[in-house]
Homo-oligomer: A and B are copies of this chain.
Amino acid sequence: MGSATFSSDILRGHTETVILKILLAGDSYGYEITKRILEDSEGRIDIKDATIYTAFRRMELDGLICTYWGEATGGARRRYYSITDKGRKVYAEKLEEWTDIDRILNTLIRK
């Protein structure tokens, strides 16, 4: 139980930040990002496809990312996402915010 995936509330508010960070390294698509997060989180963060696609739509509306159809290599078609200048700016802000949250939550949660 203790090593299962985290409750969805834990990720809430960080999903966009994590997606932006991955897109900083280069364009990618939903399925790949989901797999990447699962790997990089020691198998503990299993973002559902519906979650990531609704996040994409929201972020596109907010101008953080833009999208284009790409070719698939052995599977269904892929919709690629690219981070915008605004997206880079928002990522920088969220990174700074995380640094603060991290310090403060450690104070509040630990003895």
Taking the nearest CB of chain B, how far is it from the CB of A67, in angstroms? 22
Contacts A12-B12, A24-B111 given: A106-B102 contact, CB under 8 Å?
A: yes
The answer to whether A59 has its CB under 8 Å from any CB of chain B is no
Number of copies: 2
Q: Per DSSP, are chain A's interface residues mostly helix, strand or loop, or mixed?
A: helix
The answer to whether A95 has its CB under 8 Å from any CB of chain B is yes
Chain A, interface size category, equals 35 or more
The answer to whether A51 has its CB under 8 Å from any CB of chain B is no
Q: Which chain B residues border A96 with CB–CB below 8 Å?
A: 2
10 residue pairs, one from A and one from B, having the closest CB atoms = A9-B13, A9-B12, A10-B13, A18-B108, A41-B104, A12-B12, A98-B109, A17-B109, A10-B101, A40-B108
11 further contact pairs, Cβ within 8 A, besides A2-B93, A44-B104: A6-B100, A10-B101, A12-B13, A21-B108, A21-B111, A40-B107, A41-B104, A41-B107, A45-B108, A94-B109, A102-B102
